[in-house]
Amino acid sequence: MTDVYSSSPISDRWFYALVAAGVFLNATGLFPPILEPDGALYATIAKTMAQSGDFVNLYAVGSDWLDKPHFPFWVAAISFRIFGINTFAYKFPALLFFLGSVLYTYQFTRLIYSKLTAQVATLVLLTAFHGVLSNSDVRAEPYLMLLIIGPVYHFYHVFLGARFYHLLLGSFLTGCALMTKGVFVLVPIGAGLMLHWLLTGHWRELLKGRWYVAIVLSFAFTLPEIYCLYQQFDLHPEKIIFDKTDVSGVRFFFWDSQFGRFFNTGPIKGEGDPFFFVHTLLWAFLPWSLPLYLGIGKALIGLAKRKLILPEYVSPGSGLATFLLFSLSGFQLPHYLNIVFPFYAVLTAQFLVTLTPLALRRWTIGQTSIGLLLIILMAALLWLVQPNQLGSALSWLVVITFIFSALFRQNNLLSLMGRMVGTMLVLGGSLNLFLYPTFLQYQAGMAGADYVNTQPSLSKKPTVLYEPGTGNGGGSFWTYEFYANAPTHYTRTDSALRAQIQSGPKQVFTTAEYADSLSARGFTTHTLAVFPYYHVSQLTYPFLNPATRSKTLLPYVLTEVR
């Protein structure tokens, strides 16, 4: 099946120019420091791995860590070995994986659709809001985007009769996906292919031995993860993990980390809302959420009428199966759906390319209105926050808006794509270049580490991170651990702290509340510096407003303890 109203492709000159703008948009995420809490936690785990040379065991807060698999930490640790311990080294490989997912999305779309559809899908994926956000707040999702669309592309090639190396590459990437998130990645990889076979009369594919070979190979490529978990946990039943002994890392990988979260019966729990991703996707996939919803709706209506209106059902199958899986899960976070953004980009592109000329003109005007509204909201946010370089930020907004408005005057598909690239350059660029640098000043741990690194009398001394309790903790300790040049180690109890200061005074980083409690319990403390803290991944109006910001801040202190 071909596109009903498809026109000639976007000229290579315009397409590559817009792709370059989209790559730059996502690369602006390299500039802000690492965001707390999760990004900073993962960065410290990879830092420990890189510095120790131990690529088998995962440690956080000085203890064994059992939550996420190894693959992203291996990649980040290798990057640290190459580029040093810094923000760029942590974020750069994730950006490369994201750009790899963009390339795979183009290639997958080109296998089935027109060149124009592939071009539009590429630009949609480059500009989807939460994809841009995830290249600044790096977790596992940029890696997973490639490790899911990649296998689907190679396995679809196998379905079309390609050579064995496509099966091998697809299985290898599936194994890496398993070592990034766990067994649930098989849903977005396999569900779309199976739905496509069932709907298009190729159900006998389910009986062919090559797919069972692919499953065996995928799990064979996962053996390094199984080995590491077995070495760190299964061979040491005496270790206390999740307040229990005899915890199997292998069982956690295959069951508790995935099914435990889905049924909310595992050691890590959440609160699920079946409609969470319905409204989350509206802002996470901006500025493309409306054409995405209508494109999915059009496909579902066609299925209800027993009409196959799409050339393939891999994209809706993988996208909707993952959407339903996460919606029914007991553990939900906004970034979870990023992993199927490539499929959503294909569905969005197919919807836009098959619009009639009149409908396309109306959509272009409507999307432009949404883009202008987003730009106005960003201007208002900049004016409210008053970032350090407000003049530069407003100039960036005005210049980008003017250039893209002048370049793309027609109400056609090229202008629609160009205007949305411009809109996201305003939004993403303003966030990464001006707003985040302002917000992240209030990551007390990072500010404290920067202060210590620049003080000759302090920079070579190890720092005690005093965080009473158990578990991974939180707050602003992880950015201190990552950005500090000198060694750091955690102390969780008063008795452990007393034992350490027997050999002399220690510099301690902790909250002002904990520091005051130390003074009340007989320790002698001398405050060296105070750093304001705010949980910047959960923004509120009082924090955004400079007039009320000080009331939202909590102090962390660097203190000398005797």
Indicate the domain borders of the chain: 12-353, 358-441, 443-561
**Range with the poorest average pLDDT among 35-49, 152-166, 215-229, 268-282:** 268-282
- Residue 306: pLDDT band with limits 50, 70, 90: confident
**Average pLDDT of span 312-331:** 88
Query: b/e for 463-485, b at 16 or more Cβ within 10 A?
Result: bbbbbbeeeebebbbbbbbbbbe
**Average pLDDT of span 483-503:** 91
What value does the mean pLDDT of the chain take?
92
Nearest to 234 by CA among 219, 258, 251: 251
Residue 267 pLDDT greater than 70, yes or no = no
Burial classification of residue 504, based on how many CB atoms lie within 10 Å of its CB (0-12 exposed, 13-18 middle, 19 or more buried): exposed
CA 44, 49, 52, 54 torsion-angle sign: positive
- Secondary structure class of 471 (helix, strand, coil): coil
Which residue is it, tokens 């319905």? Answer: 278
Asked if 117 contacts 349 with a C-beta cutoff of 8 angstroms, the reply is yes
pLDDT at residue number 1: 39
Residue 559 pLDDT greater than 70, yes or no = yes
Asked if 6 contacts 353 with a C-beta cutoff of 8 angstroms, the reply is yes
pLDDT at residue number 3: 44
Global pTM value: 0.95
Pairwise pLDDT comparison (267 vs 479), residue with the higher score = 479
pLDDT at residue number 272: 62
Burial classification of residue 72, based on how many CB atoms lie within 10 Å of its CB (0-12 exposed, 13-18 middle, 19 or more buried): buried
User: Per residue in 361-419, pLDDT tens?
Assistant: 999 999 999 999 999 999 999 999 999 899 999 999 999 999 999 999 999 999 999 99
Which residue is it, tokens 């407000």? Answer: 390
Cα–Cα dist 197/484, whole Å: 53
| Phi-psi group of 61: left, alpha or beta (phi > 0 → left; psi -120 to 50 → alpha; rest → beta) | left
- What tokens were used for 345? 């980009």
Helices of type H across 28-114: 38-52, 71-83, 87-112
CA geometry: angle at 133 spanning 127 and 136, to 5°? 120
Residue 532 pLDDT greater than 60, yes or no = yes
pLDDT at residue number 2: 42
Asked if 273 contacts 332 with a C-beta cutoff of 8 angstroms, the reply is yes
**Average pLDDT of span 319-328:** 89
According to DSSP, the residues that pair with 463 across neighbouring strands are 488, 507
User: Per residue in 189-244, pLDDT tens?
Assistant: 999 999 999 999 999 999 999 999 999 999 999 999 999 999 999 999 999 888 88
User: Per residue in 414-454, pLDDT tens?
Assistant: 999 999 999 999 999 999 999 999 999 999 999 999 999 99
Angle between helices 357-385 and 413-430 (to 10 degrees): 10
Q: Does domain 443-561 have CATH number 2.60.40?
A: no
